[in-house]
């Protein structure tokens, strides 16, 4: 009787150790095949990075939009806020233009943008990026946003750009994360770019974007897939208002 109790007592730590070891192995196995991101809202997003990453999506549409109107309404909440618009057009005005000017000067040096380019900024809000383009000499520049800001920004939805096919030589956007339909967002850029035209996107890959974002991007591969009518030119790390990656595409020439 005494012996049995002693034996079962000595077995307990061994069993406990075995369970801990097994749990740890499972934990390491699962997490070696995935990455965890925690969004600003506290939402935990798990994305595959192991051999299955081709299957695991690295572009996720955020749930919660009940209709297209609901999505537009959400986007407008921030853009139409009078206090914020005052800040964007006063305190933030020059600071932001200065940063955009550096990005566009760099693209001019790389011969991806010139003074002769007809340029569009997609999701330009109050148009600091448009003003920056003009200051570096790209005078034929315009912005597009849900809310107009004349004369720099005209009203329009980037899912249905109000421009003819093959209008622009250059399109810039730092609002890919606001697209509810990323395929339409990219499709419209490719439609309105001339053959050989350049698209420059600033996106967040390693950081989570804000609560007004409609999608989360975890690698540039979905972009390369979406830009199927364009050649990938390059990608590089940047520091652009919370966006960390510049990705550049050139629209293919039409096959005759």
Which residues are at the interface with ligand SAM (CB under 6 A)? 75, 79, 123-125, 128-129, 145-147, 157-159, 174-175, 178, 241
Shortest reach from residue 45's CB to ligand SAM, in Å: 20
Shortest reach from residue 128's CB to ligand SAM, in Å: 5
CA distances from 201 to 71, 74, 173 (A): 22, 23, 5
Give per-residue burial for 78-92: e unless 16+ CB within 10 Å, then b. ebeeeeebeebeeee
Please identify, using beta-carbon distances, which residue of 232 and 241 lies nearer to ligand SAM: 241
Please identify, using beta-carbon distances, which residue of 149 and 249 lies nearer to ligand SAM: 149
Shortest reach from residue 83's CB to ligand SAM, in Å: 15
Sequence-separated (6 or more) residues with CB below 8 Å from residue 20: none
Please identify, using beta-carbon distances, which residue of 51 and 64 lies nearer to ligand SAM: 64
**119 has which bridge partners?**
141, 170
Please identify, using beta-carbon distances, which residue of 108 and 159 lies nearer to ligand SAM: 159
Pairwise CA distance, residues 67 & 73, whole Å = 10
3-state helix, strand, coil in the chain (%, to 5): 40, 25, 35
H or E stretch at 5: helix 2-32
H or E stretch at 28: helix 2-32
Q: 67: left (phi > 0), else alpha (psi -120 to 50), else beta?
A: beta
Of the candidates 204, 201, 199, 215, the residue with the CA atom closest to the CA atom of residue 244: 204
Shortest reach from residue 147's CB to ligand SAM, in Å: 6
Please identify, using beta-carbon distances, which residue of 19 and 147 lies nearer to ligand SAM: 147
Please identify, using beta-carbon distances, which residue of 35 and 154 lies nearer to ligand SAM: 154
Helix (H, G, I), strand (E, B) or coil at 206: coil
Shortest reach from residue 241's CB to ligand SAM, in Å: 6
Shortest reach from residue 22's CB to ligand SAM, in Å: 46
Shortest reach from residue 126's CB to ligand SAM, in Å: 7
Burial, 191: exposed, middle or buried (Cβ in 10 Å; 0-12, 13-18, 19+)? Answer: middle
Please identify, using beta-carbon distances, which residue of 223 and 243 lies nearer to ligand SAM: 243
């Amino acid at each position: 009787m005494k012996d049995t109790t002693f034996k079962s007592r000595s077995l307990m730590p061994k069993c406990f150790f075995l369970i801990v070891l097994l749990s740890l192995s499972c934990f390491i196995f699962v997490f070696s095949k995935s990455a965890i991101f925690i969004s600003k809202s506290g939402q935990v997003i798990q994305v595959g990075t192991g051999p299955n990453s081709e299957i695991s999506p690295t572009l996720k549409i955020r749930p919660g939009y009940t209709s297209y109107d609901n999505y537009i309404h959400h986007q407008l909440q921030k853009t139409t806020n009078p206090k914020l618009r005052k800040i964007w057009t006063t305190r933030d005005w020059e600071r932001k233009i200065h940063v955009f000017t550096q990005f566009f000067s760099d693209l001019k040096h790389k011969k991806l943008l010139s003074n002769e380019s007809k340029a569009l900024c997609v999701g330009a809000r109050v148009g600091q990026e448009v003003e920056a383009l003009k200051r570096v000499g790209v005078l034929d520049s315009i912005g597009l946003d849900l809310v107009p800001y004349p004369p720099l920004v005209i009203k329009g939805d980037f899912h249905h750009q109000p421009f003819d096919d093959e209008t622009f030589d250059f399109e810039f956007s730092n609002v890919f994360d606001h697209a509810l339909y990323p395929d339409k967002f990219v499709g419209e850029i490719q439609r309105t770019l001339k053959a050989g035209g350049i698209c420059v996107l600033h996106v967040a890959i390693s950081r989570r974007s804000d609560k007004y974002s409609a999608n989360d991007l975890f690698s540039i591969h979905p972009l390369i897939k979406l830009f199927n009518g364009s050649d990938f030119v390059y990608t590089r790390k940047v520091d652009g208002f919370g966006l960390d990656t510049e990705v550049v595409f050139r629209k293919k020439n039409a096959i005759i």
